[in-house]
């Protein structure tokens, strides 16, 4: 770890996660990290590199390739007072732990009538665009956002990564923390030093605009900003909202923006059917129908089982700044 | 083409109306559905919308004059009437129009058109698009001649978004007259707003625009709204009716009076707990009134004699089938008692919404005669102005009127002899002693008190 010399430093998303985890381990000895290859290998992206040397195998725990155990053990740790941060090496591997997350962690507080809580974080890299093919490309947020009792955070800027990871670690209930792996080293930004928290459930307007509201999260926020800036040069004004959390969802921010621009485009990498965009669309239709001057539109992945490895298949699955700009143009001109 | 406007019939039993105030003068442009005069009848004051878009040619009746319904009161020159009226001169006879002709007394075609146009009731503000589509579906195609700009209209109507529809209604803009800047000529929300800025009409002016000072009369007169010492106020028909009704009720119904004090602490807490959310969800402020009305309605069900009226023919007592609660609403210049119909079928929330709607429309002078009819019992929220006790006059034709007085915190001795700070409210009842005696009346009041005290402090509305 570099010693901080000013009040902020430029980090990429990997470094932001690493710095936040390090500070958490330093500040609270109840914090433990467990997962596949988090110890001696220092995580596949080197996020926890050398942590085991400083904090020992009691707090940086290498586990077998058994995701149900990783989360299940973390649930027990959390219920008994530790602050576990469980890592699922890739989101594509999270399915064996579905029961532990949905059936146990999310319901602990309710089931025990508040006697037990489950203050744990499940970190996992997700998303495509990295030639990850079938088992290193998925988006899993829609599988979990149906579940009350679970918070889901998807930051896309380094400063948001730190503030929200701190909030997730401090949270008294389970938080699924999704890190888009294409943004890991691609995205750099100023990150304030020291401990700070960004409240879970608060969206952020990354770019203000007046003719169209674009709601997105993850990698696509960056692409949406690129497209919006291009439209700005063409004389069109697009507002870009980074959800940052998909559950709880910042309804107020979305509605405020839609009531201003009267048009809504939702962009996400996950499949369109039953995705986050479906919930946002329904919510806006319920709350702000008579403010809408155009049909709500969702730009999302097609209904195919997975992202192909072949470049044309990956490109067909993923959106792009150019595709986003086209959709934005059509909606502004509608 | 000049269209003659006649005094509308504002309610089936109304035979005459008074031109209270012209909102337009000769030479002024007027939009279709734009209010252009205020008419008062012995039941209600209301604004009358213009049936056509055009220019006022002539006002035929002075302000303050009362004329029978159907009397010509103004002439409006219709804009672009020639092209539109020509084909209408030969309407294809459908079953409907034939039936009309068969049953209605012979009228000139213009008069028929007018009476059709004047049908909209006061406060009528349906989106104009719906009016058009209704007309299109009820008539044969030949009755709606294609306009020169028909294609553009079609394009505009196809893509009317919810926002455009709402904004057009709010700003009284006919979307068909707006040039669309969107894809394929679609009218966008911004187009409507731009059009609204170009045509600032009375429609966009605040509804309660200060009245122009009435013409200073020759003698020493002033108005009810602006009384001047040493002058005489000529009564509006509304005030005259209020005076007559009060005298009638006081003279014919022997009033008796009773009061209970009610511990409303739980209801108060219940209301407070729901207040913010309720207003956010419904746009209506949650007051104590709907809770009170709900309790009154339940007590009326337990004491049906309180929900009845004395008939001098017979004489007899008619026990009402429906429970329709009038709510007395004091306005600066008069008093109106709009009625929540079938209040016994409504939840507290339903009552709150119905009352909120009536109160808002009363303040905007937009009540219809139907709103004022068929009350069977009256609730008067005298406490709103701080009254501690009052002796109200019964609404003629009912057996009683009950008040909600001001809610105050008072130290109250409880059942276990402890002293607690409780929210207390008096409720006063005036009753028609021909219908009920003290036995029923105090039973009713005790029941009302019991119901209010057992409401809340939580639960669904």
Burial class (CB in 10 A: 0-12, 13-18, 19+), B199: middle
Is residue B211 very low, low, confident or very high in pLDDT (cuts 50, 70, 90)?
very low
Phi, psi of A242 (to 5 degrees): -95, 115
CB B212 within 8 A of CB B45: no
Q: How far is CA B111 from CA B25, B71, B79, B448, in A?
A: 23, 11, 18, 54
Give the chain B residue whose CA is nearest to the CA of A291. B163
**Mean predicted confidence (pLDDT) in B115-127:** 35
- Shortest distance, CA A277 to any CA of chain B (angstroms): 20
Distance, CA of B371 to CA of B336 (rounded, Å): 10
Residue A326 has pLDDT above 80, yes or no: yes
Question: Which residues of B, range 150-179, sit inside 8 Å of A by Cβ?
Answer: 161-166
Q: Cα B135 vs. chain centroid, distance in angstroms? A: 26
Residue B132 has pLDDT above 60, yes or no: no
Degrees to nearest 5, angle at CA A299 with A293 and A301: 160
Is residue B236 very low, low, confident or very high in pLDDT (cuts 50, 70, 90)?
confident
Q: Report the predicted TM-score, pTM, of the whole model to 2 decimal places.
A: 0.52
Closest to B145 (Cα-Cα) out of B90, B76, B78: B90
Tell me, yes or no, if A333 comes closer than 8 A to chain B by beta carbon. yes
**Residue B11 three-state SS:** coil
B5-29 burial, b at 16+ Cβ within 10 Å, e below that, comes to bbbbbbbeebebbbbbbbbbeeeee
Query: Where do the domains of chain A lie?
Result: 10-192, 204-333
Q: Which residues contact A173 (CB under 8 A, 6 or more apart)?
A: A109, A117, A118, A119, A149, A150, A151
Provide the annotated active-site residues of B: 433, 437
Q: Which residues contact A37 (CB under 8 A, 6 or more apart)?
A: A43, A44, A62, A89
Residue B210 has pLDDT above 70, yes or no: no
Q: Which residues contact B213 (CB under 8 A, 6 or more apart)?
A: B226
Closest to A211 (Cα-Cα) out of A171, A165, A264: A264
Supply the pLDDT for residue B97.
Answer: 42
Query: Position of tokens 């919930």?
Result: A279
Residue A319 has pLDDT above 60, yes or no: yes
Is residue B199 very low, low, confident or very high in pLDDT (cuts 50, 70, 90)?
low
Burial class (CB in 10 A: 0-12, 13-18, 19+), B324: buried
Is residue B137 very low, low, confident or very high in pLDDT (cuts 50, 70, 90)?
very low
Closest to B38 (Cα-Cα) out of B59, B23, B53: B23
Query: Which residues of chain A lie closer than 8 angstroms to B166, CB-CB?
Result: 290-291
| CATH architecture for the domain at B239-453 | 2-Layer Sandwich (3.30)
Phi and psi based region of residue A208 (left: phi greater than 0; alpha: psi -120 to 50; beta: remaining):
beta
B179-192: pLDDT as tens digits: 888 888 889 999 99
CB B17 within 8 A of CB B8: yes
Query: Which residues of chain B lie closer than 8 angstroms to A290, CB-CB?
Result: 162-163, 165-166
- Hey, of B189, B192, B280, B282, which one would you mutate to test binding to chain A, going by the most A CBs within 10 A of its CB? B189
ipTM of this complex > 0.85?
Answer: no
Neighbours of B313 (CB within 10 A): 5
Tell me, yes or no, if A262 comes closer than 8 A to chain B by beta carbon. yes
Write the DSSP assignment of B113-160 as a string of letters: HHHHHT-SPTT----HHHHHHHHHHHS-GGGSPPPTTHHHHHHHHHT-
B367-384: pLDDT as tens digits: 888 888 899 999 999 988
Distance, CA of B349 to CA of B340 (rounded, Å): 13
Tell me, yes or no, if A116 comes closer than 8 A to chain B by beta carbon. no
Distance, CA of B192 to CA of B181 (rounded, Å): 10
Is residue B92 very low, low, confident or very high in pLDDT (cuts 50, 70, 90)?
very low
Neighbours of A85 (CB within 10 A): 26
> Kind of pairing, strands B335-336 and B325-330?
antiparallel
**Would you say how long chain B is, in residues?**
461
Supply the pLDDT for residue B98.
Answer: 44
Percentage with pLDDT > 70 across chain B: 77
Residue B405 has pLDDT above 90, yes or no: yes
Distance, CA of A49 to CA of A58 (rounded, Å): 16
Write the DSSP assignment of A286-304 as a string of letters: HHHGGG-SS--EEEEE-S-
**Residue A306 three-state SS:** coil
Residue B212 has pLDDT above 50, yes or no: no
What's the whole-number average pLDDT of chain A? 95
Is residue A213 very low, low, confident or very high in pLDDT (cuts 50, 70, 90)?
very high
Query: Which residues of chain B lie closer than 8 angstroms to A258, CB-CB?
Result: none
- Hey, of B161, B171, B180, B194, which one would you mutate to test binding to chain A, going by the most A CBs within 10 A of its CB? B161
Phi and psi based region of residue B456 (left: phi greater than 0; alpha: psi -120 to 50; beta: remaining):
left
CATH T-level fold of A204-333: Rossmann fold (3.40.50)
Residue B218 has pLDDT above 60, yes or no: no
Maximum CA pair distance of chain B? 86
Supply the pLDDT for residue B12.
Answer: 58
CATH 3.40.309.10 fits B2-124, yes or no: no
Residue B90 has pLDDT above 70, yes or no: no
Domains A10-192 and A204-333 share a fold: yes
Supply the pLDDT for residue B128.
Answer: 33
CA quadruple A106, A110, A116, A117: dihedral sign: positive
Is residue B200 very low, low, confident or very high in pLDDT (cuts 50, 70, 90)?
low
A177-210: pLDDT as tens digits: 999 999 999 999 999 999 999 999 999 999 999 9
Residue A30 has pLDDT above 60, yes or no: yes
Report the run of H or E that residue B402 belongs to, with start and end: strand B400-403
Supply the pLDDT for residue B354.
Answer: 94
Distance, CA of B166 to CA of B243 (rounded, Å): 41
Residue A290 is nearest to which of B162, B182, B188, comparing CB atoms? B162
**Would you say how long chain A is, in residues?**
334
Supply the pLDDT for residue B182.
Answer: 87
Supply the pLDDT for residue B237.
Answer: 77
Write the DSSP assignment of B62-107 as a string of letters: -TT-EEETT-EEEEEEETTHHHHHHHHTS----HHHHHHHHHSPP-
Measured in Å, how far apart are chain B's first and last C-alpha atoms? 55
Query: Position of tokens 């319904």?
Result: B69
Distance, CA of A111 to CA of B263 (rounded, Å): 39
CATH class of A10-192: alpha beta
Residue A334 is nearest to which of B162, B165, B182, comparing CB atoms? B182
Query: Position of tokens 């005696």?
Result: B437
B254-269: pLDDT as tens digits: 999 999 999 999 999 9
């Amino acid at each position: 770890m570099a010693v901080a010399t000013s009040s902020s430093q430029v980090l990429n998303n990997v470094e932001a996660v690493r710095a936040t985890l390090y500070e958490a381990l330093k500040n609270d000895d109840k914090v433990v990290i467990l997962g596949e290859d988090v110890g001696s290998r220092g995580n596949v992206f080197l996020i926890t590199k050398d942590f085991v040397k400083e904090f020992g195998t009691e707090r940086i725990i290498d586990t077998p390739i058994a995701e149900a155990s990783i989360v299940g053990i973390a649930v027990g740790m959390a219920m008994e007072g530790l602050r576990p941060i469980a890592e699922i090496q890739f989101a594509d591997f999270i399915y064996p732990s579905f029961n532990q997350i949905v059936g146990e962690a999310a319901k602990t507080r309710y089931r025990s009538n508040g006697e037990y809580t489950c203050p744990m974080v499940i970190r996992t890299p997700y998303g495509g665009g990295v030639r990850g093919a079938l088992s290193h490309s998925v988006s899993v947020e829609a599988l979990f956002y149906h579940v009350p009792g679970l918070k889901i955070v998807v930051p896309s800027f380094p400063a948001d990564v730190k503030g929200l990871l701190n909030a997730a670690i401090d949270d008294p209930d389970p938080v699924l923390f999704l890190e888009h792996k294409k943004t890991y080293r691609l995205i750099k930004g100023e990150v304030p030093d020291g401990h700070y928290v960004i409240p879970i459930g608060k969206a952020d307007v990354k770019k203000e605009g007046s003719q169209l509201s674009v709601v997105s999260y993850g990698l696509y926020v960056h692409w949406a900003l690129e497209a919006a800036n291009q439209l700005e040069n063409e004389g069109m004004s697009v507002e870009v909202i980074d959800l940052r959390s998909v559950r709880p969802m910042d309804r107020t921010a979305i509605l405020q923006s839609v009531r201003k621009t009267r048009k809504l485009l939702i962009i996400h990498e996950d499949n369109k059917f039953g995705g986050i965009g479906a919930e946002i669309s329904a919510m806006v239709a319920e709350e702000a129908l008579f403010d809408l001057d155009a049909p709500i539109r969702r730009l999302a992945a097609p209904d195919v089982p997975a992202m192909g490895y072949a470049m044309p298949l990956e490109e067909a699955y993923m959106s792009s700044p150019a595709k986003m700009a086209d959709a934005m143009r059509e909606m502004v001109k509608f | 083409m000049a269209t003659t406007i006649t005094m509308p019939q504002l309610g089936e039993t109304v035979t005459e109306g008074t031109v209270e105030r012209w909102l337009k003068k000769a030479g002024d442009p007027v939009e279709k559905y734009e209010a252009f005069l205020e008419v008062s009848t012995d039941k209600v004051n209301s604004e009358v919308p213009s049936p056509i878009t055009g220019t006022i040619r002539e006002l035929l009746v002075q302000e303050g004059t009362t004329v029978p319904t159907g009397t010509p009161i103004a002439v409006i020159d219709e804009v672009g009437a020639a092209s539109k009226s020509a084909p209408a001169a030969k309407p294809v006879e459908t079953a409907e129009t034939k039936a009309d002709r068969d049953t209605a007394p012979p009228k000139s075609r213009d008069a028929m058109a007018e009476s059709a146009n004047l049908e909209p009731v006061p406060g009528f503000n349906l989106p104009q698009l719906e009016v058009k589509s209704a007309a299109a579906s009820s008539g044969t195609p030949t009755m709606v001649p294609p306009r020169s700009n028909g294609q553009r209209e079609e394009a505009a109507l196809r893509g009317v978004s919810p926002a455009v529809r709402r904004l057009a209604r709010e700003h009284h803009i006919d979307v068909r007259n707006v040039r669309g800047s969107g894809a394929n000529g679609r009218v966008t929300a911004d187009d409507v707003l731009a059009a609204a800025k170009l045509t600032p009409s009375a429609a966009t002016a605040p509804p309660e625009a200060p009245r122009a000072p009435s013409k200073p009369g020759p003698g020493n007169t002033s108005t009810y709204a602006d009384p001047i010492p040493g002058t005489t106020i000529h009564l509006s028909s509304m005030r005259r009716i209020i005076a007559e009704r009060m005298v009638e009720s006081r003279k014919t119904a022997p009033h008796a009076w009773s009061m209970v004090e009610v511990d409303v602490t739980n209801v108060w807490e219940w209301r407070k707990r729901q207040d913010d959310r309720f207003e956010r969800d419904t746009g209506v402020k949650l007051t104590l009134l709907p809770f009170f009305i709900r309790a009154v309605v339940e007590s009326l069900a337990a004491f049906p004699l309180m929900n009845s009226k004395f008939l001098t023919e017979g004489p007899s007592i008619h026990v009402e089938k429906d429970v329709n609660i009038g709510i007395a609403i004091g306005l600066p210049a008069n008093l109106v008692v709009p009625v929540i119909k079938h209040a016994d079928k409504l939840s507290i929330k339903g009552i709150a919404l119905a009352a909120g709607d009536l109160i808002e429309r009363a303040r905007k002078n937009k009540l219809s005669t139907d709103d004022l009819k068929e009350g069977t019992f009256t609730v008067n929220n005298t406490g709103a102005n701080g009254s501690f006790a009052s002796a109200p006059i019964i609404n003629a034709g009912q057996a009683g009127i009950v008040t909600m007085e001001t809610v105050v915190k008072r130290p109250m001795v409880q059942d276990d002899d402890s002293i607690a700070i409780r929210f207390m409210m008096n409720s006063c009842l005036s009753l028609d002693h021909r219908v009920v005696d003290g036995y029923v009346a105090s039973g009713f009041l005790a029941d009302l008190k019991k119901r209010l005290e057992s409401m809340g402090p939580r639960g669904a509305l």
